Each structure stands twice: as C-alpha cells, then as structure tokens.
Structure 1
Amino acid sequence: MTGTTRSSGDLDVRRKRLLFQCWHRGTREMDLILGQFADAEIGTLTDHEVDELEQLIELTDHELYAAVTGDAALPAQFQGGLFERIKTYGNMDRDA
C-alpha cells in the first residue's frame, strides 16, 4: 500500500490536512495505522474528534506506536475515545 485510497475532494481544509498528515508520519507502521483509520473515518469525525486527532498526531511515532501495541501508556488527555477507536481499528474484522 502506498498511501491513501480515499479522495479528499469532499473534505474541508482541516480534514484534508489531517488525512495527509496521517499518511505521512515518518514511520511506515504509523502511516498505515493512522492513514487507514483516517481514510475510513475522517469524513465522519466530529469537530471535537478532529481537535483530538490534531493533538494526538503531535505526539511522536515512537509514543503512538508504543501505545497502540500496549508497550506504553499515553498521557491521560489522549486516552479513551478517539485513541481507542484508532487502536482497535486495525483489529476489526470488516468482512464480518
């Protein structure tokens, strides 16, 4: 996979920027985790969730990846809600 499979034509500027940033993290693992989540969910995120995602992607790839894999915890303000959706997104069986 080389990147987004979603068109950004129907997105506002903020969501377009986030979609790009989620696919261009710096490590391929986080590109895939955040990018695939963003492809599927960016158009339906609430404004509050967009705020959360903007803050979340300010963390380093090392911090995010360690939290996704369960090797470390994120700071309290990032735990729950949106991060839990991102964390479990890759483990969902979409064919079921």
Structure 2
Amino acid sequence: MSDRPSSANETNPESLETRRRRLLYRSWYCGIKEMDLLLGSFAKQHLESMTEAQLDSYEALLGMNNDPALYDWIMGRSEPPPGMNSDVLDMLRNFKFIDARS
C-alpha cells in the first residue's frame, strides 16, 4: 500500500535509495514531536535493512497521518485495524528509542 501517485511511478520509478531517503525525511517530520523523535530514530536504524514489502508497510503507517492512533498501536493501547498490523509495526513496538538525531 503506497500513497505515491501511480502515474509518477510508471513514468519515473523511484530508486530504492531515494525512497529510503524520502521515508527517513518523512519520519523526522511526520507530526507531533514525540512521534518525529520515535519514528525518525526508528527509521535511521532500520530503513537500510528493510525489504521493499517492509518499506511499503512503513510507508502505509506514515501515510495514515494519524499520530495519536499510531502511537496507541505502538504502545499497545489499542489494536490496529485489519491490514495495518505488520512485522514493521512489531518492529516499532520492540524498538528501543535512542536519540539518533546526531
């Protein structure tokens, strides 16, 4: 699941490296500061080793634009809807935050 326009993908496919850089940027600037720190640190540590399917799952989570719901899923306060539960969400749940901005 991707929020990128399909016409852009067909005419000018994005390289995997460019996609990872874009997702890293989006992770640091996604919404509330707490989520920026959590997702930015997570992305910095994990994006390079993610498969394309995992990148799709991560991009779908970022594309929700609903930080409070995503935070609740990560913290285990609520369950995600069908289709949003993935190994990437499990990785986020198990992630140990470190300040990776530097």
TM range (shorter): 0.7 to 0.9
Larger radius of gyration: 2
User: Which AA in structure 2 matches 1:39?
Assistant: K
Identity %: 31
Aligned residue number for residue 53 of structure 1: 58
Whether 2:90 is the aligned partner of 1:84: answer yes
> Comparing both structures, which one devotes a greater share of its residues to helix?
2
Residue equivalent to 1:69: 75
Question: C-alpha displacement at 1:80, in angstroms?
Answer: 3.3
Where in structure 1 do 4 or more consecutive aligned residues deviate above 3 Å?
none
Spell out, residue by residue over 1:27-60, the C-alpha distance to the aligned partner (whole angstroms, 9 max, x if none): 1111122111100011111011111111111121
* Higher relative contact order, structure no. (Cα contacts within 8 Å, ≥ 6 residues apart): 2
Q: Is the 8 A contact 1:33 1:90 kept in 2?
A: no
CA distance in 1, matches of 2:38, 2:83: 20
- Separation (CA, whole Å) in 2 of partners of 1:90 and 1:32: 12
RMSD: 1.8
What is the identity, as a one-letter code, of the residue corresponding to 2:91? R
Q: Which runs of 5+ in 1 are unaligned?
A: 1-10, 92-96
**Aligned pairs (5 A) from 1:1-96:** 12-59=17-64, 60-90=66-96
Unaligned runs of 5+ in 2: 1-15, 98-102
- Count how many residue pairs are aligned between Structure 1 and Structure 2: 82
The CA deviation string for residues 4-23 of structure 1, in whole angstroms up to 9 with x for no partner, is: xxxxxxx7111110000011
Q: Structure 1-normalised TM-score?
A: 0.77
Structure 2 length-normalised TM: 0.73
Structure 2 partner of 1:6: none
